[in-house]
Amino acid sequence: MKLWGGRFTKETNQLVHSFNESLSFDRRLYKQDITGSIAHVTMLSKQRILTAEEKDRIIAGLTAILEDLEAGTLEPEAQYEDIHSFIEATLIQRIGDVGKKLHTGRSRNDQVALDMKLYIRDEIPELNRLLLELLEVLEQTMKANTDTYMPGFTHLQKAQPTTLAHHLGAYYEMFSRDLSRLADTHVRLNECPLGAGALAGTTYPLDREYTAELLAFDCPTANSMDSVSDRDYLIELLSGLSIIMMHMSRFSEEIILWNSNEYQFVELDDAYSTGSSIMPQKKNPDIAELVRGKTGRVYGSLMALLTTMKGLPLAYNKDMQEDKEGVFDALDTVIDCLTLFTGMVKTMRFYKDNMEKSAARGFTNATDAADYLVMHGVPFRDAHGIIGQLVLTCLEKEISLDELPLADYQAISPVFQEDIYEAISMKTCVEKRLSYGAPGEYRERLK
């Protein structure tokens, strides 16, 4: 059954049907489609466009279809163009001609817009749950590592000392912002398009405010043409999903580096690693690499929809059918990645001694050594040059500033005294950085 065809004299070519159909992917909208239809006929009855008896029969039929779909005793058939035509045809088969009144006062254009909004609204809580779970894992790891010293980097070069808690805290902030972006997306999508019709509303006395209330929307959409042609909320969602993936990808890149033989900062749990078919010593960070790789996949969905929408005149165009597969795939990908990524982070083992040694051997306390001289009256530019000479001496001797004898310090500047070692210890370097957001202040905040 098609929801159109009265003015056609030929059957659709099978290749055209296959090219045109969306049932193969929009079938996952069945629950939202039925929910929207029940609200629609409830409103039609309230407005006396349908009788109470007609409403009850249609709702009973739709409810039975939903139950059968959920139980797996009913499967959408490939002959149908989309999930909307399948559900309507099944309803008519089951309850007779009264089922033909379901579509009164609406179009597939506002119907599919509604279904997608309901679907995204239903998915956002799951994304929120997974992000909150990741944030909880990060917070627990941070609290356990406020005194785990490590190098902080700029340009991928060791720069200043920090703590693992402070480093992970940067990702905590990123994923927290992701939560707020999803909340913003929910606010803007939560307007009901049902009742907009094909593009210009309808002559039926619909109560769109009532329909919106039944479906827990904040209000009906304000312009019927925009209602059926708006995909901003999907673009905004895909943008938010892309940023989530970007954050996981950045973190994955660091985990991959930290897991390498050169760094040896972390060891990944066997459950989140794989081996090599030829090299028995290998333990590969495949989950981190796949998260990094799948980021491009989600980006692709965002760019595809932006490109699809960039040249479309008002109102609905069939091009918009291309929104679904990319959005569905991006949602599935992000949900899978968040689930696995959180498990990987939760089970990582940190090599704290290696981290601290790396910070010391990387001269991350050089700035603090310069600050020591400044506090003893040496101009900063002179202090900068003195510490540069000391670093060269350490490089020649293959030692850190902590290991350099006091005589070598005093050979370059007599200002140095025995307390230089306390001043440049990792503990001091971190704990004295107490400006808001710095590692020392972060340490106190996490206690």
Q: Are 134 and 402 in contact (CB under 8 A)?
A: no
User: What's the CA gap between 148 and 389, in Å, rounded?
Assistant: 29
- Catalytic residue among 103, 155, 224, 247, which? 155
User: What's the CA gap between 123 and 130, in Å, rounded?
Assistant: 11
- List C-alpha distances in Å: 233 to 119, 194, 430: 12, 16, 43
User: What's the CA gap between 139 and 214, in Å, rounded?
Assistant: 39
For residue 45, the tally of other CB atoms under 10 A from its CB is 18
Count, residues in the chain: 447
User: What's the CA gap between 131 and 137, in Å, rounded?
Assistant: 10
Strand partners, 154: 157
Name the pairing type of β-strands 349-350 and 266-267.
antiparallel
260 given a catalytic annotation: no
User: What's the CA gap between 141 and 108, in Å, rounded?
Assistant: 49
User: What's the CA gap between 268 and 400, in Å, rounded?
Assistant: 29
Q: Are 362 and 158 in contact (CB under 8 A)?
A: yes
For residue 136, the tally of other CB atoms under 10 A from its CB is 12
Structure tokens of 190?
A: 């939560």
- Residue of 277, 265, 289 lying closest to 340 (CA atoms): 289
Q: Hunting for tokens 């059957």 — which residue is that?
A: 11
Question: What string of DSSP letters covers 322-335?
Answer: GHHHHHHHHHHHHH
- Catalytic residue among 276, 301, 384, 400, which? 276
Structure tokens of 211?
A: 């329909």
Dihedral (CA of 188, 218, 183, 40) sign: negative
- Residue of 112, 16, 125 lying closest to 316 (CA atoms): 112
Backbone angles phi, psi at 101, to 5 degrees: -85, -5
* First-last CA distance in the chain: 65
Element (H, E) at 27: none
Angle ∠(260,265,271) on CA atoms, nearest 5: 70
167 given a catalytic annotation: no
Positions annotated as catalytic residues are: 155, 276
